[in-house]
Chain A
Amino acid sequence: MLTIAGHTFRSRLFLGTGKFSSAEILKQAIEAAGSEMITVALRRVNLDDPADDIMRVLDRTRYVFLPNTSGARDAREAIRLARLARAAGSGDWLKLEVTPDPRTLLPDPVETLKATEELVKEGFKVLPYINADPILALRLQDVGAAAVMPLGAPIGTNRGLLTRFQIEIIIEQARVPVVVDAGLGAPSHAAEAMEIGADAVLVNTAISVAGDPVRMARAFALAVEAGREAFEAGLGASRREAVASSPLTGLDFIQR
């Protein structure tokens, strides 16, 4: 089972709650996905149209809420959003996102490291969203991040695991769980991330904008489970060369 910051999760599929067509579809999608970690965002209330709050739609006792700091452009803004999220009663969990470039929404590594350092001191369980940079992942681990969330491809691109080689290095080196976030456009992408040993994946757009989000949520859940099972079963590597047991060819210098 997956453990992050002392909390155990049965499901390795984290679900983002953006862009669903209705609260009802969202609830059914969460059920179908079996997710226990749900991301949410913080926004100013629109006073002219105070729609229902997402926290009232969802049963807060059943899920861990992972508020993000989306919209933050530097460490200061992210820290402010984090404090607001905690004041709103979401707990200490935080998906730290610092995205100064509105075009690509790629994360700023320098500001992310700064904000993580500060928020860990304030007692947050910080899961930073990062580019798939192995050294950055280790630096974040060193300052106390609870997990790292490298991107498979830029947000919303549905391109899959473009960063596979780098993510493999992160998985090999990191002591904290690795959650692949962003860019996973199809269940096969999620399965691939799990097959190479990711601890979990976070999916949003690919589910919320699917023709049938509830069935797509189920498809991702199956893919994540299949990928994890394959990883634990030990994937056979592609055949490089024949391995034969043989006499000591080339080792005749060994005498004793």
Chain B
Amino acid sequence: MMFQPPSFSVLQEHLNAPTAADIERVLRSPHLEAADLAALLSPAADAFLSAMARRSAALTSQRFGRVTQLYAPLYLSNLCVNRCSYCGFAADNRISRRVLTIDEAIAEAAILQERGFNHILLVSGEAPKALGVDYLEALALRLRDRFAAISIEVQPLETDEYARLFAAGITGVAIYQETYDRTTYQQVHLAGKKCDFDFRLATPARAAAGGMREVGIGVLLGLADWRAEGLALGLHLAWLRRQFWRTALTVSFPRLRPAAGDFQPLVAVTERDLAHLIFALRIFDPDVGVVLSTREEPRFRDGMIGLGPTRYSAGSCTVPGGYAHPELDGEQFAVGDHRSLQEVCAAIRQKGYDPVRKDWDSGFQMTDGG
């Protein structure tokens, strides 16, 4: 049994039905159903954004405490076999391409470690011949003693491959559907393995089945109706919770940023819409981790501290090798927040929150089945 999202026209019917009275009722309910999430994401809820922010903030501090986790992405490669019209790494974009050697990747990691990061996210385009499971396994084995948590955001893998990487010290997998609307999905994924909507959709479940402690799902905002995307993602989240109760789940809503290829967003998604999505998902699922990356500007990121997000990236560079060699080009997208880890930590402290760089130590983990 696999998860299948309803079509966007069905989702939109549910999103257009709720009234102000429904929103008031939902904001007082202790447990929310999918229909309640539809109410929170409906146009009728736009007038309740402040009330939603308050409830979201209360649930976030109740469940996670007054802390914000921090991580940095480590770009391993910008090689990619896919042609995704929105992505700077798309195979037909003329950018300088490189795959870091394991030693180069270790050097990048060492810089992040020196800067004070304990959680890194290994990122790559999809080019399994150049960067496959063997590479990730070898790298993880060398990094595992230096970092408290290592996550990956790479091509979709099979369950046994996730199990192998977990044994090597990788504890989390981020795999975003980009859009839950099949039609839009086909429209923006022009070539490559990523064209297979269903294979990608089933990937979070494979990662969880492979034993990952944490699985992140997400939507790339700017491709289709954000309200329907949020509802579809909420349904996926609830389905994963029921199937994989041992797996911690996170969500992320990256907004399209300027990138090589000059793709223009198909729909406009404002900061207000992004905040709305985050509040709604937090109220729907008080336990879910919410990631807010450096795609957003400092003003917005600082304003959102404590209101729903639980994890921020900081000091990010989206060029493979870019930490050691800032002069390199070939980025995935232009970041919106250029502050260093220290500056972001200071902003978090100023809001009365504790920046946390270590939430788990893989040294605790039994990888031999014990």
Contacts and interface: CB of A to CB of B under 8 A. Distances in A.
Q: Do chains A and B touch in the complex (CB under 8 A)?
A: yes
Contacts of A250: 50, 53-54
Interface residues of A, number: 23
B271 A244 contact: no
Interface in B253-276: 270-272, 275
Given A236-B25, A237-B28, A243-B48, A255 B245 contact: no
A60 interface: no
B260 to A, nearest CB: 24
Given A253-B303, A256-B271, A256-B272, A245 B53 contact: no
B140 interface: no
B28 A175 contact: no
A243 B302 contact: no
Interface of B is mostly: helix
B370 interface: no
Nearest to B305: A253
A133 B370 CA distance: 24
Given A172-B31, A251-B53, A254-B300, A245 B20 contact: yes
A244 B53 CA distance: 12
A247 interface: yes
Contacts of B27: 243
B300 A251 contact: no
Interface of A: 138, 172-173, 175, 234, 236-240, 243-251, 253-256
A246 B49 CA distance: 8
Interface of B: 20, 23-25, 27-31, 47-51, 53-54, 241-243, 245, 270-272, 275, 299-300, 302-304
Contacts of A243: 23-24, 27-28, 48, 51
Given A243-B27, A255-B271, A248 B49 contact: yes
Contacts of A138: 245
Contacts of B31: 172
Given A234-B25, A254-B300, 18 more contacts: A138-B245, A173-B241, A173-B242, A236-B25, A236-B28, A238-B28, A243-B51, A245-B23, A249-B50, A250-B50, A250-B53, A250-B54, A251-B50, A253-B299, A253-B303, A254-B272, A254-B275, A255-B299
Contacts of A246: 50-51
A173 B51 CA distance: 27
